[in-house]
Amino acid sequence: MTRPKPWYKHGGIITGIVLLLLILIGGAAAALVFTQQSPDQPIQFPHRTHVLIGAQCQYCHPAVAFSAEAGLPSTDKCWGCHQQIERQSEQLDILASYVESGEPIPWVPVALLPDFIHFNHLTHVDSGIACETCHGDVSQMTVAEPQTRWNMGWCLECHSRTGEENFVRLSDCATCHY
């Protein structure tokens, strides 16, 4: 006499569960990979070249010194140098076409927090924190790369290292969420 198979031993159900697991794991892996990839930029702007020739971060992102945002440079700023440099790559022809049409370059944001968080560059740069601490070594990057682990624990972990007397203020929800 054969006993009926318990429900979880049916082939269909096992295949279903395996497929579901595969989809979940695959989805998670894809999410991990795709969120850590640099998006396609209109111009493959090489940070490395520019930092190597001695351009300071604050020359192109001047607002870090006085505001919450860092800001991206305008085409005028690029053109100030590139007008004088011989164009050797088609990337620079793209730049020239933006300058001619007078349109801003539609850069794709890389370093981005959700809207409900209000980050402030001014106070961090003023406290002497180097850009690399948060953005990785941009001077070695060809295009800006997203950083891993930009979550609330990361902010709070560093804030907790600034000392107990500051931590009430730096961990107050109103400091970042409003």
Partner 1 sequence: MAQVTEQPRKWGMVIDLDLCTGCNACVTACAMENNIHYTGEDEVAYGRGLYWMRIQRYWHGEYPNVGPEFTPMLCQQCGEAPCEPVCPTYASVHSNEEQINLQVYNRCIGTRYCANNCPYHARVFNFFDYEIPAPMNAYLNPDVTVRSRGVMEKCTFCVHRLVHARIDADTQGDPSLENEVTTACAQACPTNAIMFGDLTDENSPIRTLFERSERGFQIMEELGTFPSITYLKGGGVYGGRD
- Residues between 47 and 76 that touch partner 1 (CB under 8 A): 68
For the bound state, the minimum distance from the C-beta of residue 11 to ligand HEC, rounded and expressed in Å, comes to 40
- Helix (H) or strand (E) holding 158, with range, is helix 152-160
Residue nearest ligand HEC, Cβ-based: 78
Question: Is residue 82 near ligand HEC by the rule CB under 6 A?
Answer: yes
Q: Among 148, 141, 172, which residue's Cα sits nearest to residue 32?
A: 148
Which phi and psi (to 5°) does residue 133 adopt?
Answer: -55, -40
144-173: contacts with partner 1 (CB under 8 A): 163, 165-166, 168-169, 172-173
Q: 91-130 mask for ligand HEC (x: CB under 6 A)?
A: xx--x-----------x-xxxxxx--x-xxx-xxx-x-x-
For the bound state, the minimum distance from the C-beta of residue 123 to partner 1, rounded and expressed in Å, comes to 5
Question: Is residue 88 near partner 1 by the rule CB under 8 A?
Answer: no
Give the whole-angstrom CA distance, residue 160 versus residue 39.
Answer: 32
For residues 50 and 61, which CB has a smaller minimum distance to partner 1 in the complex?
61
Question: Is residue 178 near partner 1 by the rule CB under 8 A?
Answer: yes
Give the whole-angstrom CA distance, residue 2 versus residue 7.
Answer: 15
Give the whole-angstrom CA distance, residue 8 versus residue 81.
Answer: 69
Question: Is residue 91 near partner 1 by the rule CB under 8 A?
Answer: no
Give the whole-angstrom CA distance, residue 176 versus residue 116.
Answer: 8
With CB under 8 A as the contact rule, the residue among 4, 54, 109, 128 that binds partner 1 is 128
Question: Which of 6-14, 15-23, 28-36, 154-162 is the region at the interface with ligand HEC (rule: CB under 6 A)?
Answer: 154-162
Q: Among 154, 170, 138, which residue's Cα sits nearest to residue 50?
A: 138
* CA diameter of the chain: 91
